[in-house]
Amino acid sequence: MNVDPVIGLEIHVELSTQSKAFCSCAVAFGGAPNTRCCPVCCGVPGTLPVLNEKMLEYAVLAGLAFGCEIQSYTRFDRKNYCYPDLPKGYQISQHAHPLCRGGEVAFTLPDGKRETAGICEIHMEEDTAKQSATGIDYNRAGVPLIEIVTGPDFRSAEAVLAFLSHVKSVLEYLEISDCRMQEGSFRVDVNLSIKPSHRETPGTRTEMKNLSSFRAVAAAIEHESQRQIQILESGGQVEQETRRWDETNRCSVPMRTKVDAGDYRYFPEPDIPPIRLTTEYIEGQKAALPEFAPALTARLVADYGIAPTDARIITANKQIATLFESAAKAAKSAQEVARWVTGELMYQLHIQGMTPAELALSPATLAVLADAVTDGIVNRTAAKQVFGYLCSGGTDVMGYIGIHGLGQMSDEAVITAAVEQVLTAHPSVVTAYRDGQTKVFGFFVGEVMQKLDGKGNPAKIRSALQERLGTIH
Q: Quick check: 152 binds ligand ADP (CB under 6 A)?
A: yes
Q: Quick check: 151 binds ligand ADP (CB under 6 A)?
A: yes
Phi (first) and psi of residue 399, to 5 degrees: -60, -45
Residues paired with 186 in a beta bridge: 13
Binding mask 201-220 for ligand ADP (x = CB under 6 A): -x--x---------------
Please identify which residue in 192, 366, 369, 372 interacts with ligand ADP, judged by CB under 6 A: 192
**Whether the Cβ atoms of residue 318 and residue 331 lie closer than 8 Å to each other:** no
Nearest alpha carbon to residue 25 among 171, 138, 132: 138
Q: Minimum CB separation from Zn ion for residue 35, in Å?
A: 11
Report which residue's Cβ sits closest to ligand ADP.
Answer: 8
In 3-state terms, what secondary structure has residue 25? coil
Q: Minimum CB separation from ligand ADP for residue 6, in Å?
A: 4
Q: Is the CB of 5 or the CB of 49 nearer to ligand ADP?
A: 5
Q: How many chain residues bind ligand ADP (CB under 6 A)?
A: 15
Q: Is the CB of 188 or the CB of 383 nearer to ligand ADP?
A: 188
Rounded CA-CA distance 390/411 in Å is 28
> Which entry of ligand ADP, Zn ion, none binds 9, CB below 5 to 8 A by partner kind?
ligand ADP
Rounded CA-CA distance 29/34 in Å is 12
> Which entry of Zn ion, ligand ADP, none binds 151, CB below 5 to 8 A by partner kind?
ligand ADP
Helix axes 458-472 and 441-451, enclosed angle (nearest 10): 120
Q: Quick check: 4 binds ligand ADP (CB under 6 A)?
A: no
Please identify which residue in 150, 185, 285, 379 interacts with ligand ADP, judged by CB under 6 A: 150
Please identify which residue in 149, 162, 313, 469 interacts with ligand ADP, judged by CB under 6 A: 149
> Which entry of Zn ion, ligand ADP, none binds 41, CB below 5 to 8 A by partner kind?
Zn ion
Q: Is the CB of 26 or the CB of 231 nearer to Zn ion?
A: 26
**Whether the Cβ atoms of residue 116 and residue 104 lie closer than 8 Å to each other:** yes
Rounded CA-CA distance 231/235 in Å is 6
Q: Minimum CB separation from ligand ADP for residue 92, in Å?
A: 18
DSSP string, 56-70: HHHHHHHHHHTTPEE
Nearest alpha carbon to residue 100 among 77, 124, 118, 126: 124
Q: Tell me which residues in 52-111 interact with ligand ADP (CB under 6 A).
A: none
Please identify which residue in 8, 63, 98, 103 interacts with ligand ADP, judged by CB under 6 A: 8
**Whether the Cβ atoms of residue 384 and residue 359 lie closer than 8 Å to each other:** no
Query: Of 6-14, 279-287, 361-369, 450-458, which part binds ligand ADP (CB under 6 A)?
Result: 6-14
> Which entry of Zn ion, ligand ADP, none binds 123, CB below 5 to 8 A by partner kind?
none
Residue type, 371: D
> Which entry of Zn ion, ligand ADP, none binds 160, CB below 5 to 8 A by partner kind?
none
Residues paired with 119 in a beta bridge: 150
Q: Is the CB of 87 or the CB of 98 nearer to ligand ADP?
A: 98
Please identify which residue in 1, 133, 261, 357 interacts with ligand ADP, judged by CB under 6 A: 261
Query: Of 33-41, 159-167, 187-195, 388-396, which part binds ligand ADP (CB under 6 A)?
Result: 187-195
Rounded CA-CA distance 370/399 in Å is 15
Q: Which long-range contacts does 47-53 make (Cβ < 8 Å, 24+ apart)?
A: 48/271, 49/21, 49/22, 49/23, 49/92, 49/271, 49/272, 50/22, 50/23, 51/21, 51/22, 51/272, 51/275, 52/17, 52/19, 52/20, 52/21, 52/22, 52/144
> Which entry of Zn ion, ligand ADP, none binds 285, CB below 5 to 8 A by partner kind?
none
User: Where does this chain bind Zn ion (CB under 5 A)?
Assistant: 23, 25, 38, 40-41
Q: Between vectors from CA 316 to CA 300 and to CA 284, what angle results, nearest 5°? A: 75
Q: Is the CB of 149 or the CB of 272 nearer to ligand ADP?
A: 149
Binding site for ligand ADP (CB under 6 A): 6-10, 149-152, 191-193, 202, 205, 261
